[in-house]
A and B are shown apart, each in its own frame.
Chain A
Amino acid sequence: MRRLALILVPYLWLLALFLVPFVIVLKISLSDLAMSIPPYTPQLDLAAGWEGIKSFFSQLDLENYVWLTEDELYWKAYLSSLQIAVFATFLTLLVGYPMAYGMARAPEEWRPMLLMLVILPFWTSFLIRVYAWMGILAKEGVLNQFLMWLGVISEPLVILNTNIAVYIGIVYTYLPFMILPIYASLDRMDDSLLEAAEDLGCSRFSAFWLVTAPLSKQGVIAGCFLVFIPTIGEFVIPSLLGGSKTLMIGKVLWDEFFSNRDWPVASAVAVVLLLILIIPIILFQRNEQKQREAEG
């Protein structure tokens, strides 16, 4: 009896506030817009019994999804989100790997401190960290002033409101997610393997490439997914740092919902976005499983 209550409370909570809302999204994505306010047609008329259920399902259609394929705004937004996410993940890896490597090689007594320095930004507001870059990257911002003072450039660079600013924002905010799993895998590594490689005639570079890199592969994969998956649906960074040409699907969904008030289309955008995300999520889970098997 107690056990049942223990299971039921969180179960019902998640059903009511996670699964049911998602089913509603799915239903609305198949519905027609009726004067831009709910309820949408068709409506489920349970009083009419089986006939009601049948007519409900026969009236659902894929019109909104067809609309997504017809208007090039949407598939362009999906594509450019994917592109930005892939490239940003790669850049984050480029910045994060040397840092994780340096941390794992740092003297033992420094490591807790370095780890804390990586985690600390994670506890401060995400929004504020993105906002900090607005003042830095602006035309009269700190970065341009600094570069002009150095004499590197004579005209201020236009960085804010371009895709470059979006990349900087993503690398900056998601860097801890990349560093931590890579650091964990490098920290676990057995150093005698490196010594063995060097005794056997490897240069330091080839020892890194042949021993360290393969051993940190799992951490790299985990870090890449941890950056890639949330980046695709990102809304705050492209809105604050990106320009009118930066197209990301999270922003399109937001605008569709709040500005155009076309809820059925917004719902269809959400469903497709989730379908796109399911593939990397499954890959990620499989990778985790493999890692656990390798360890256990």
Chain B
Amino acid sequence: MRRFSWFNATSLTLGFAFLYVPMIILIVYSFNKSKLVTVWAGFSTKWYGELLSNQAMLDAAWVTLKVAVISSSIATILGTMAAYVMVRSGRFFGRTLFSGMIYAPLVMPEVITGLSLLLLFIGLNVDRGIMTIVLAHTTFSMCYVSVVVSSRLVSFDQSLEEAALDLGCSPFQAFRLVTLPIIAPAVISGWLLAFTLSLDDLVIASFTSGPAATTLPMKIWSSVRLGVSPEINALSTIMIVLVTIGVITASLITKHQAVRQKREERAAERVS
């Protein structure tokens, strides 16, 4: 029997209050009429209106979305390939270096990753813009994808793949028809992880973008560094609400699937 004492209840209440009160305050003040955070001057949605008429902000949001979709998609392909190589390929020349390069970006401080990529792009004389941000984001997020996917591949029964090969599949067909459907949840969560990492990144994007491309975090950064601005409160509220809806939907879907799976298993038991 696990005991749920007053101590546990208090620590959870205080802890979750600590996590959520700042966000709630942010949301409340996004509806404040006054420009000052300190004075409550009545309910108003004017900051939302100003946000939506701020063309530079909207452009930055569009750039961010484009970068996130493209980079997380490439990162998912490359990361899944890398995971497959790590788990299935056995020994090959330079394997240690390869696994080192997969794990190193996970612990590398962002300032260093950003700095080194900027120096590369300058050295190669590449024009910096959306393309260079995509390259940078793909590189660090493919490592996250490969960690997520390889943990799923490790626990996956290889004989299923071998059976498909015995039955006349080409290796690619076996991957597409057998392996991919089984590891799909990991691939999808890898994509989502890469997508949010890209949406959230300030430091690496600041190093690798040129004057032509500004991402939303860079835009937020330049306006909050000067102090608190109510437009950013409105933007934060929109982002928090979108994320909450997304996460709740996703968890409802997984819960629904789990229930359905359990029901099917029970039905199968009854038949046999």
Q: Is the CB of A21 within 8 A of B120?
A: yes
Q: Tell yes or no: A129 within 8 A of B by CB.
A: yes
One of A114, A191, A230, A254 near B12 (C-beta < 8 A): A114
Q: Tell yes or no: B37 within 8 A of A by CB.
A: yes
Q: Is the CB of B2 within 8 A of A24?
A: no
Chain A's closest residue to B109 (CB) is: A233
How distant is B115 from chain A, measured CB to nearest CB, in Å? 6
One of B107, B111, B117, B217 near A125 (C-beta < 8 A): B217
How distant is A166 from chain B, measured CB to nearest CB, in Å? 15
List CB contacts (< 8 Å) of B99-153 with chain A.
101-102, 104-105, 107-112, 115-117, 119-120, 122-123, 135-136, 138-139, 142, 146
Among the stretches B41-49, B55-63, B223-231, B264-272, the one at the interface with A is: B223-231
Q: Is the CB of B26 within 8 A of A135?
A: yes
Residue numbers in A under 8 Å from B94 (CB-CB):
11
- Provide the B214-225 mask, 1 if CB < 8 A to any CB of A, else 0: 000100110011
How distant is A274 from chain B, measured CB to nearest CB, in Å? 6
Q: Tell yes or no: A277 within 8 A of B by CB.
A: yes
What's the Cα separation between A119 and B104 when bound, in Å? 24
Chain A's closest residue to B232 (CB) is: A131
Q: Is the CB of B101 within 8 A of A18?
A: yes
List CB contacts (< 8 Å) of B65-106 with chain A.
78-79, 81-82, 84-85, 89, 92, 94, 97-98, 101-102, 104-105
What's the Cα separation between A7 and B19 when bound, in Å? 42
Q: Tell yes or no: B29 within 8 A of A by CB.
A: yes
How distant is A268 from chain B, measured CB to nearest CB, in Å? 11
Q: Is the CB of B19 within 8 A of A254?
A: no
Most chain B beta carbons < 10 A, residue from A102, A175, A235: A102
Q: Is the CB of A14 within 8 A of B202?
A: no
Q: Is the CB of B115 within 8 A of A270?
A: yes
Among the stretches B161-169, B180-188, B238-246, the one at the interface with A is: B238-246
Among the stretches A51-59, A71-79, A93-101, A216-224, the one at the interface with B is: A93-101
How distant is B154 from chain A, measured CB to nearest CB, in Å? 11
Q: Tell yes or no: A49 within 8 A of B by CB.
A: no
Q: Is the CB of B4 within 8 A of A17?
A: no
Residue numbers in A under 8 Å from B38 (CB-CB):
138, 140-141, 145
Most chain B beta carbons < 10 A, residue from A3, A129, A131, A230: A131
Q: Is the CB of A135 within 8 A of B37?
A: yes
Most chain B beta carbons < 10 A, residue from A17, A118, A138, A235: A17
- Which of the four size classes fits the interface of chain B? 35 or more
Q: Is the CB of B111 within 8 A of A233?
A: yes
Q: Is the CB of B172 within 8 A of A2?
A: yes
One of A2, A15, A21 near B116 (C-beta < 8 A): A21
Q: Is the CB of A240 within 8 A of B225?
A: yes
Total A-B residue contacts, Cβ distance less than 8 Å: 223
What's the Cα separation between A3 and B138 when bound, in Å? 22
Q: Is the CB of A250 within 8 A of B196?
A: no
Beyond A102-B15, A106-B12, A124-B243, is A10–B217 a contact (Cβ under 8 Å)?
A: no
Q: Is the CB of A17 within 8 A of B117?
A: yes
Residue numbers in A under 8 Å from B97 (CB-CB):
19
Q: Is the CB of B232 within 8 A of A142?
A: no
List CB contacts (< 8 Å) of A4-30 with chain B.
6-7, 9-11, 13-15, 17-22, 24-25, 28
Q: Is the CB of B110 within 8 A of A18?
A: no
- Provide the B4-25 mask, 1 if CB < 8 A to any CB of A, else 0: 1101110110011011101101
Residue numbers in B under 8 Å from A17 (CB-CB):
117, 120, 135-136, 138-139
One of B11, B78, B138, B217 near A98 (C-beta < 8 A): B11
What's the Cα separation between A170 and B247 when bound, in Å? 24
One of B37, B107, B139, B200 near A229 (C-beta < 8 A): B107
Q: Tell yes or no: B251 within 8 A of A by CB.
A: yes
What's the Cα separation between A15 and B19 when bound, in Å? 39
Q: Tell yes or no: A267 within 8 A of B by CB.
A: yes
Q: Is the CB of B16 within 8 A of A117?
A: yes
What's the Cα separation between A239 and B243 when bound, in Å? 26
Q: Is the CB of A132 within 8 A of B224?
A: no
Apart from A131-B236, A267-B119, A273-B109, what 17 extra A-B contacts exist at CB < 8 Å? A17-B136, A17-B138, A21-B117, A28-B119, A38-B122, A99-B15, A105-B2, A107-B4, A123-B196, A125-B200, A127-B200, A128-B239, A132-B23, A134-B224, A135-B233, A172-B22, A240-B225
A-B contact pairs, 24 of them (CB 8 A): A7-B92, A14-B82, A17-B138, A18-B139, A24-B119, A95-B18, A96-B15, A105-B5, A117-B20, A121-B20, A123-B246, A124-B239, A126-B202, A127-B217, A129-B22, A135-B25, A172-B18, A191-B2, A230-B109, A232-B109, A233-B112, A235-B111, A263-B119, A274-B108
Contacts from B to A (Cβ < 8 Å): 1-5, 7-9, 11-12, 15-16, 18-20, 22-23, 25-26, 29, 36-38, 78-79, 81-82, 84-85, 89, 92, 94, 97-98, 101-102, 104-105, 107-112, 115-117, 119-120, 122-123, 135-136, 138-139, 142, 146, 171-172, 196, 199-200, 202-203, 217, 220-221, 224-225, 227-228, 232-233, 235-236, 239-240, 243-244, 246-247, 251, 255
